Structure 1
Amino acid sequence: MAPPASIAWPTRVAAAIAALGLATAPHALLAQDRQAPPGLEDLIPDSAVDDPEGWAREGVEPEARASAEQAPAIDPASPLVDDPAIEVAWPDQAPIPRPEPLAGDEEIEFAQIDREFFRGGPEMEVVSLGPELALGFPTDEDAFPMRDAFADRFEALSTVEELQDDDVDDNIAQLAARAREDEELLGQLLQVYGYYDAEVIRIVGAPGRRGGADDAGAQVRFDIVPGERYSFGAIDLGELARAPDAAALRDAFDIATGDPLSSDAIVEEQFDLDRALGETGYPFAEIDAPELLIDHARAQGDLTMPVRPNGKYAFGEVVSGSPDFLSSRHLETIARFDRGDVYQRSLEQDLRRAIVATGLVSSVTITKREVAPPGPETPGEVALDVEMTKAKLRTIAGAIGYGSEEGFRLEGSWEHRNFFPPEGAVRVRGIAGTQEQLAGITFRRNNFGGRDRILNVDAYASTIDSPAFDARTVAFVASYERSSTLLFQKPISWSVGFEAVATGERPATAGNAPQQARQTYFVGAIPLFLQLDTTDDLLDPKEGFRVAGRLSPEVSRSNGVESFYLRSQFDASYYQQVSDSVVVAGRARFGTIQGTAIANIAPSRRLYAGGGGSVRGYGYREIGPHDDLGDPTGGRSLAEVALEARIRTGMFDGALSVVPFIDAGTVSTSTFPDFETFRVGAGLGVRYHTGFGPIRVDVGVPLNPGPDHSAVAVYVSLGQAF
């Protein structure tokens, strides 16, 4: 315990202060301040410093001094005496008092947004972007003419929009935090459109009490005060003026001083200028990133985008890095340009795609190389160095199909796509089926004599045992064509060919009827084909039409009788997408053989109808005239029509479609269909869409079948029916 002198110190200090005449009340201190008293050091004498206790006793009133002298001495070793006046209960003697929970205050609600104000006053027009988000624009559309595009763009990026799309139980704090992010986003978007002095007014609140019957959720509204739209000031395009085509290139960059400022326009016009440089002979052109300097005093932005054309050039040679694989001469054949043509970037890219389309390479790199620099009046020359990575050249392929009327069909092939470089492919194939067996070899040279032109030479031997005829055939077929591929679908396709066929055929035999003698035919033909295609897809079209014609002048010799005739067929199909999930497709076909009697035409070269690619619901080649035994004999004319709806479903991520269809067709022995036996079939199909085309399964039934027709027919194949 402290000594007695220390215990009495506060009393003595108080007495000393009283002796000095210093009041302790606040008002006294204030009065002392007004009179500017001397400092405390001046009022305390040296004796008080040398003997403060004695000095304090002398300055204390007698009553106070007596009380102090009579105070009992405290023994430092004695324990503290409990003060009976202070009692505190320990926790085991009394419960700890706990605060009562605050009662709910029915008067506390979310900040209210005046509904009329939220809908937009006379100066603002509100665009609602959802239950929790709205934008307010000036009612004068000229003040902010791009409001629709701006609102769509903001909605796609808004974090408040994400919140409401996530369907979370958001509160006002979450909404306010995201509203601040959206406010920054709006400021950036306004600058993209050239509004650098714009203001965004953010309002966050709840129009109705949350949890109540009238709760509409928290809402955010941004009022846009666009201010003045800045314009383009000075435009610096570097060395563009030095290009020979400077005027045309400057026109391609469609931004001029005074145009409304827009960051989007800069990006778009930079792309247009780059494309113009690449398409008008500037393979080495360079464009630096644009820089925009904003001057708020002038309300303009000065654009600097250094351009270096680096000279104008024409195409030189195409140099192959693997001349024994694909020669330079062959690559120049593939290219759609000649030496001396002005350089175009699109033609360089087209050459790269064409090399990839050969199927012989896995990757292609084309490097531009200056051969001769540009002159004052003439362009320079640039060569294209082509480096290729070879792909696997050998392919083993197979396919299997089934038709309830045709039976099974298994196909297999082996192919080397560059057996005779360049692009000379050899293919060996075979077919094993219920009605057909075949073995053949094919030579095919792509890009022969020009881009996308193909030479085919095919030799094969086959046997066919169908309900219409039994044939043993050896054939040699050659054709030169320009046809569509999966990479290059062409609006016009054509082919011209030659056929030499030797076939021994006889009508099919039903039941236990005796077989007829086999008759030998020697046939020579020059088949011609032409097609116009405006569809949007080769295997699964949704829009457009196709019109095709086939003409084949033929000569046939059998049993000493020589006949000349013309086989012709015309096809037309039309496709129309009527909704996002429905495509309606229709097809018509007409065929005829003119010039000789049907007996002089080999059964395999007559016209037939029925099957998966013809009239579904009937067997292959089963529609048309029949002999006394009920076997189809074929005819000299046919007519077919088909209509189907291709309906996408949501099953398997939208890959599955259902296809109701109806087909009809007739075959006649005359040169023009008589429609006396017009067969109709209908059914339902499914399509499973893959990356290489739809897999098709159709089930059809004949609506007016003949006595020998089955009640149902099933077809499985790749691709649409037409």
Structure 2
Amino acid sequence: MGWQPSTRSPIESARVALTTCLAALAVAGAPPIAAQDSEVPPSLEDLIPDSAVENPDEWARQGTDDAVGPGVDTVPDLDAETPIAELPEMSVAWPENVELEPLQPLEPEDDIEFAQLLEDAPQVAFDEAEIEQLSDTLVLGFPQQEPPFSQRGDFVDRFEALSTVEELNDGDENVAQLAARAREDEELLTNLLRVYGYYDGEIVRTIATRDAGEDTADQRPRVRFDVIPGARYTYGAIDLGQLDTAVDAASLRDSFNIQVGDYLQSDTIMAERFNLDRALGESGYAFAEIDEPELLIDHERVEGDLTMPVRPNGKYVFGQVVSSDEAFLSSRHLERIARFESGDIYRRSLEFDLRRAVTATGLVSAVGVEAREIRPPQGDEPGVVAMDVTMERAKLRTIAGAIGYGSEEGIRVQASWEHRNLFPPEGALRLRGILGTREQLAGITFRKNNFGGRDKVLTVDAYASSIDTVAYDARTVALTGTYERTSTLIFQKPLAWGIGAEVLATDERNRIVDGVERPRQTYFVGALFGRATLDTSDSLLDPTRGFRVTGFLAPETSRTQGVQYYYLRNRVDAAYYQTVGNRTVIAARAAFASIQGAELVGIAPSRRLYAGGGGSVRGYGYQAIGPKNDFMEATGGRSLVEASIEARIGTGLLDGAVSVVPFFDLGSVSTSTTPDFGEIKMGAGLGVRYTTGFGPIRLDVGFPLNPEPEDSAVGVYISLGQAF
């Protein structure tokens, strides 16, 4: 800034000069000027001589030199550009013998109100607002009547789930915590309004007073938010990039169910983006791309323009499936287990399904499936993609063993060795053996998975066994072949079936009682059999809804003591599951079985019908229900009926893993081909279930309600999975 002429009067200039002089004296350490008479203080005019008025600058310079005194250096001119090298020393005497009065504690004031709880928060509430009280400390008000807030219910639920003030509803909150969290909730409410398309909404944060009649001793404040959503914005322009270049542009656009004029909601944008992506993937667009959506809000139009670039990148059909390890799982085998044929329209879900199918073989530790372009689309003709399957081999040999004890089975040791791909692809060989108090077995099994189609299994099993149960003693050699379509934990199917054949020779007799042996009888048996299961349940091991119906039919022939017998074995099992409330499942089961066409003596004891045990009527021993001979041995029968009902009640213990299960069972076995309801045995009890990642562990304790003298007073059953 340049220099400007002074406009001060001479008197004012003199005052300024005097001030400058006194400042210079202070800096130089000059002795203080003697005080004037306190009774008559001099005026400013008395202190300023006439020479100071006539030439103030000269007078100020002379006065400073005179004030410094002899022997003292004059105060140097101060240069604004040069810093002071040394500051003059100053010393101030510290007052002695000064006593301060002790601080007195402040008494709390009982009548303090929380009017200033939240800084900068307006202390105004809307009298005619509709109120939603979420807790003792949190209230929402909705004063806006027009236009109505149509999403209010869902809005309140989402806010309540995310509110930080709501988390303090335990009586332990303090004012500071409540204030901080209330500010966070105000921002949360603003963001939620925008989620629903209210971009001009207002949130009024207040401290609500207690209503009349409430406990006045409760001094906790109540935070209130009045929500004024304002007008709801709608969609303006919608730009989906290159979607209109797709062959199926019209149907694909229909899958993105957002139109111009619809109300804005960010949740809907994300949901419809997913729907469009799925539609592209299921309609042949193997390499489609969708960018993140962008929304441009125009407050003047009360609209938002949506831009979401879509690049379909051409339509394709499936070509060949190519394996990265032909000697292990060949391309031909992978094509067999895929749920698509060459030339079918590409579907992303079928690509994922192929990956799951390869994983389900149990032969790989890692698998990847990727579409590779073989021929690009040309005009309206789709392109072709090959499905490249890459895999890493898993360990294929397994050795397993188990040792157990049961009150009915005694000691039991079993072991097995298996190679799951000894005969590629998916040809397994398994050797197994059992050594126990009542059972000994040696067997060999060949199993071919995915044989002739997806989830179809060929099994050939040969074994020799000796088994001593409650009802019979049998020494058996058998050969069984089965071809079936299985339902697995990964792929539970609504329809599973199996057909097979069996030939066996068995030497059997009833149990030895008091050392008295029964005569043995040899049976040569040949059988064909078939079974089918309809399953609408939601789980194989732990169903909560749906039903299952299984039918079994086996025409058989038996030759014993020179006589040929022909008969038909059949059985029907049905189960129903229904969830009641949030934690209870009601499960019911019924079974009927019969053997038609032969007398009981012509049927080997091991192939007759029995009831009792953990999978039948709990509270009774295995095979303990049914006709008995003079030695009170179970002889088996030709008809069976069973029924069970139980309630699987969740307790909430261990994060909901524990359930208690009261149950009631009944069953009857008859020597005739029709059930005998006059000899029904009933059992009841209580069980516990512990849910794990692979299914529930079951512990049931059952009591016979109408036992025979030889029946035990209680039965205990432990297994994996539900009873039915």
Residue 186 of structure 1 pairs with residue 193 of structure 2: no
Task: Give the superposition deviation at 1:139.
Answer: 5.2
C-alpha separation between the residues in 1 aligned to 2:149 and 2:52? 76
Task: Give the superposition deviation at 1:47.
Answer: 8.0
Residue 90 of structure 1 pairs with residue 97 of structure 2: yes
Partner of 1:121: 127
Aligned mate of 2:320, from 317, 322, 343:
317
AA partner of residue 220 (structure 2)? G
AA partner of residue 720 (structure 1)? Q
Partner of 1:585: 587
1:183-208 per-position Cα deviation (integer Å, ceiling 9, x unaligned): 22222221221111111111136538
AA partner of residue 167 (structure 2)? E
SS in 2 for 1:159: coil
Contact kept? 1:208, 1:214, Cα under 8 Å: no
Contact kept? 2:125, 2:226, Cα under 8 Å: no
Change (3 A) 1:272 1:51: closer
Task: Give the superposition deviation at 1:19.
Answer: 4.4
Task: Give the superposition deviation at 1:509.
Answer: 2.1
AA partner of residue 217 (structure 1)? R
C-alpha separation between the residues in 1 aligned to 2:446 and 2:485? 16
Task: Give the superposition deviation at 1:355.
Answer: 0.8
Taking structure 1 as the reference length, what is the TM-score of the superposition? 0.86
Change (3 A) 1:162 1:658: closer
Partner of 1:398: 401
Aligned mate of 1:680, from 679, 682, 692:
682
Task: Give the superposition deviation at 1:222.
Answer: 1.2
Contact kept? 1:111, 1:206, Cα under 8 Å: no
AA partner of residue 601 (structure 2)? A
Aligned mate of 1:613, from 612, 615, 639:
615
Partner of 1:170: 174
Taking structure 2 as the reference length, what is the TM-score of the superposition? 0.86
Change (3 A) 1:463 1:177: same
SS in 2 for 1:467: coil
C-alpha separation between the residues in 2 aligned to 1:294 and 1:517? 94
Partner of 2:630: 628
Partner of 2:150: 145
C-alpha separation between the residues in 1 aligned to 2:668 and 2:596? 17
Change (3 A) 1:427 1:9: same
Partner of 1:75: none
C-alpha separation between the residues in 1 aligned to 2:451 and 2:30? 123
C-alpha separation between the residues in 2 aligned to 1:100 and 1:491? 83
SS in 2 for 1:617: coil
Task: Give the superposition deviation at 1:657.
Answer: 2.8
Contact kept? 1:401, 1:410, Cα under 8 Å: yes
Unaligned runs of 5+ in 1: 23-38, 57-81, 83-87
Partner of 1:602: 604
Residue 269 of structure 1 pairs with residue 272 of structure 2: yes
Change (3 A) 1:576 1:283: same
SS in 2 for 1:526: strand
Partner of 2:666: 664
C-alpha separation between the residues in 1 aligned to 2:467 and 2:51? 133
Task: Give the superposition deviation at 1:621.
Answer: 1.4
Change (3 A) 1:141 1:17: closer
Partner of 1:334: 337
AA partner of residue 130 (structure 1)? S
C-alpha separation between the residues in 2 aligned to 1:479 and 1:4? 117
C-alpha separation between the residues in 1 aligned to 2:144 and 2:58? 88
Partner of 1:69: none
Task: Give the superposition deviation at 1:568.
Answer: 0.5
Contact kept? 1:112, 1:206, Cα under 8 Å: no
AA partner of residue 325 (structure 1)? F
Task: Give the superposition deviation at 1:7.
Answer: 4.9
SS in 2 for 1:419: coil
SS in 2 for 1:420: coil
Change (3 A) 1:652 1:50: closer
Contact kept? 1:197, 1:227, Cα under 8 Å: yes
Task: Give the superposition deviation at 1:159.
Answer: 2.1
Residue 135 of structure 1 pairs with residue 140 of structure 2: yes
Aligned mate of 2:460, from 454, 457, 461:
457
Change (3 A) 1:295 1:561: same
AA partner of residue 243 (structure 1)? A
1:564-599 per-position Cα deviation (integer Å, ceiling 9, x unaligned): 110001111122222333322221111111111111
Change (3 A) 1:694 1:181: closer
Task: Give the superposition deviation at 1:403.
Answer: 4.0
Unaligned runs of 5+ in 2: 1-24, 68-92, 118-122
C-alpha separation between the residues in 1 aligned to 2:531 and 2:54? 129
AA partner of residue 641 (structure 1)? A
Deviates more, 1:299-308 or 1:705-714: 705-714
Cα-Cα RMSD: 3.1
Change (3 A) 1:350 1:17: same
Contact kept? 1:154, 1:186, Cα under 8 Å: yes
C-alpha separation between the residues in 2 aligned to 1:397 and 1:89? 93
Contact kept? 1:206, 1:219, Cα under 8 Å: yes
1:243-284 per-position Cα deviation (integer Å, ceiling 9, x unaligned): 000111111111121111121121111111101100000010
SS in 2 for 1:527: strand
C-alpha separation between the residues in 1 aligned to 2:377 and 2:199? 45
Partner of 1:230: 233
Contact kept? 2:527, 2:557, Cα under 8 Å: yes
AA partner of residue 500 (structure 2)? G
1:473-524 per-position Cα deviation (integer Å, ceiling 9, x unaligned): 00000111112111111111110000011111122221132x2332211111
Aligned mate of 1:367, from 367, 370, 373:
370
Task: Give the superposition deviation at 1:433.
Answer: 2.9
Residue 695 of structure 1 pairs with residue 718 of structure 2: no
Change (3 A) 1:654 1:232: closer
AA partner of residue 387 (structure 2)? L
Change (3 A) 1:41 1:566: farther
Task: Give the superposition deviation at 1:455.
Answer: 0.7
SS in 1 for 2:295: strand
Change (3 A) 1:145 1:99: same
AA partner of residue 96 (structure 1)? L
Contact kept? 2:126, 2:143, Cα under 8 Å: no
C-alpha separation between the residues in 2 aligned to 1:48 and 1:670? 144
Count of residue pairs the alignment pairs up: 665
C-alpha separation between the residues in 2 aligned to 1:42 and 1:696? 113
Partner of 2:509: 506
Partner of 2:390: 387
Partner of 1:221: 224
Amino-acid identity (%): 59
Residue 418 of structure 1 pairs with residue 430 of structure 2: no
Task: Give the superposition deviation at 1:291.
Answer: 1.2
Change (3 A) 1:584 1:118: farther
Partner of 2:112: 108
